A = this chain, B = another copy of it.
Amino acid sequence: MTDSNQISLDAEDEAFGINDRFVDEVLEAVENGDSVALSTMFDAVHPADIAHLLEVIDGRSRKELLSLWKGGLDGEVLSELDENLREEVINSLAPSELVDAVRELDSDDVVNLVEDLGSEQQEAVLDALDASDRVAVEKALAYPEESAGRHMQVELVRAPQHWTVGEAIDFLRSDDNTLPDQFYHLILVDPRMKAVGYVTLGRILSTRRDVPLNDISEDSFRTFNVNQDVEEVANAINHYHMITAPVVDDDDRIVGVITIDDAMAFIEEEAEEDLMRLAGVGEGSLSDKVVDTTRQRFPWLAVNLVTAICASLVISMFESTITELVALAVLMPIVASMGGNAGTQSLTVAVRALATRDLTSSNVWRVIRREALVGLINGAIFAVVMGLIGAVWFGQPMLGVVIAVAMVINLVVAGLAGTMVPVVLEKIGVDPALASGAFVTTVTDVVGFFAFLGLAAAWLL
């Protein structure tokens, strides 16, 4: 790893994570086959950091490390790992190691771990669980992939609504072994197990024993159905600053919770997905194989090729115009490129606003008008600039006028298309992040070349 001495990307004041020196030390221990040093080094390291280390080292080192570190890998590391590496790492474990690793995990982490595994591996993990845990995991796997039921944690603490603070404390003290690792609320239930409210542990601890839980429950209480989209639940957790979101079945009985730390991961994932889709990258990550990455990027490039050919067809309509005035060929990419960029600006804002619900039916027409107006103003400014440049560069004032007018037209169109395309895609149920870019670029390319070359043909020749 002499390379690592040349480029250092580590910030000075890291709040978390592993640094290059640690990675180098680990790689050295792997090279020396020193499993004792490795275990010692990993002893005080958080599972999330070990997972991250496995992601940044190359495949060969990863394989050697895992075979040296026999038995050391715990379940937390597996559940922190990038999905595309999980299968590889799980495959490298002996069945008994896998059993040890998953046994300590919460139900939602096990589900998350096994849902993408092949059926043989899945069976091996399920066999490792206690009967009751296994039932919980299998139940969760029966819910749709992106549902709250699939991602909820079944470990939770509920209390009958008629209990007092004292009764709740006695219950919590008596019953240690069934409590989840982390919990921050008691969920109040009626005799039919219907969730009716919740009490924070802070309120319980600061209240006298004889006070009924009902008197200190939180004002606002929301529940979410098992079939609801888990990203919606995560967004609600963020929106309402909740710590735990209770998940209920169709009869309003409490069956699990989505916790804020999982919600945070979903929200980060969602924003990242939007970004990756807008750039046409798909679901990729750096630890994917070259062939996978090539395949992920291919469709977007293929779509772009079709788009570019459409634009070329427009140009070819004006071949004779270009032959007469080759300056047009020099200037035409400028109009198309400015339109493409302005369109990308508008569509990025629109796609995000749709995702965060800032763009709704109540303001969609206002937003479209606004974007067109922004395009008109910026278009006018750049029209003047580029008109002057065009006129001076080629000594033809009328060429300046042509590029100026084409620029205004294309930037207004960019604003309109950049907003309307995502809105229409959302309306017909297509993910706007995924498809807007291709449509908008096609529009701005075609309009850009057509306006510029068409006006040139009409006014200059």
A192 at interface by CB-CB < 8 Å: no
A142 at interface by CB-CB < 8 Å: no
| CB-CB nearest in chain B for A367 | B286
A55 and B348 within 8 A (CB): no
A361 and B10 within 8 A (CB): yes
A232 at interface by CB-CB < 8 Å: yes
Pick the contact of A9 from B235, B242, B359 — CB < 8 Å? B359
B423 and A7 within 8 A (CB): yes
Write the nearest CB–CB distance from A452 to chain B, whole angstroms: 12
A275 at interface by CB-CB < 8 Å: yes
A52 and B357 within 8 A (CB): yes
Interface membership of chain A positions 254-280, coded 1 if the CB is closer than 8 angstroms to chain B and 0 otherwise: 000000110111011001101110111
| CB-CB nearest in chain B for A316 | B330
Pick the contact of A206 from B48, B179, B341, B357 — CB < 8 Å? B179
A274 CB contacts on chain B under 8 angstroms: 275
Segment 198-243 of A: residues with Cβ below 8 Å from B: 200-202, 204-208, 220, 224, 228-229, 232-233, 235-243
- In the complex, identify which listed stretch (A15-23, A90-98, A112-120, A129-137) lies at the interface while the others stay far away: A15-23
Copies of this protein in the complex: 2
CA distance A382 to B303 in the complex (A): 11
Interface membership of chain A positions 285-325, coded 1 if the CB is closer than 8 angstroms to chain B and 0 otherwise: 11100110110011011101101110110011001001100
B9 and A354 within 8 A (CB): yes
Write the nearest CB–CB distance from A65 to chain B, whole angstroms: 13
CA distance A184 to B275 in the complex (A): 34
A358 CB contacts on chain B under 8 angstroms: 52, 55-56, 285-287
A30 at interface by CB-CB < 8 Å: no
A398 CB contacts on chain B under 8 angstroms: none
A20 CB contacts on chain B under 8 angstroms: 360-362
B206 and A275 within 8 A (CB): no
A334 CB contacts on chain B under 8 angstroms: 305, 308-309, 311-312
A294 CB contacts on chain B under 8 angstroms: 374, 377-378
B204 and A239 within 8 A (CB): no
Write the nearest CB–CB distance from A428 to chain B, whole angstroms: 11
Write the nearest CB–CB distance from A6 to chain B, whole angstroms: 8
A297 and B342 within 8 A (CB): yes
CA distance A288 to B168 in the complex (A): 50
CA distance A359 to B204 in the complex (A): 45
A281 and B345 within 8 A (CB): yes
A232 and B16 within 8 A (CB): yes
Write the nearest CB–CB distance from A222 to chain B, whole angstroms: 8
A143 at interface by CB-CB < 8 Å: no
A412 at interface by CB-CB < 8 Å: no
B342 and A173 within 8 A (CB): no
B228 and A359 within 8 A (CB): no
B349 and A286 within 8 A (CB): yes
Pick the contact of A272 from B23, B236, B271, B344 — CB < 8 Å? B271
Pick the contact of A238 from B10, B182, B265, B359 — CB < 8 Å? B265
A349 CB contacts on chain B under 8 angstroms: 276, 279, 281, 284, 286
A-B contact pairs, 6 of them (CB 8 A): A4-B361, A9-B426, A56-B363, A172-B202, A204-B205, A300-B345
**4 tightest Cβ-Cβ pairs between the two chains A and B:** A271-B271, A279-B348, A15-B232, A16-B236
- Chain A residues with a Cβ under 8 A of chain B: 1, 3-4, 7-11, 13-17, 20, 23-24, 27, 46, 48-49, 52, 55-58, 168-169, 172-173, 175-176, 179-180, 182-184, 200-202, 204-208, 220, 224, 228-229, 232-233, 235-243, 260-261, 263-265, 267-268, 271-272, 274-276, 278-281, 284-287, 290-291, 293-294, 297-298, 300-302, 304-305, 307-309, 311-312, 315-316, 319, 322-323, 326-327, 329-334, 336-338, 341-342, 344-345, 348-349, 352-354, 357-367, 370, 373-374, 377-378, 381-382, 385-386, 389, 423, 426-427, 445
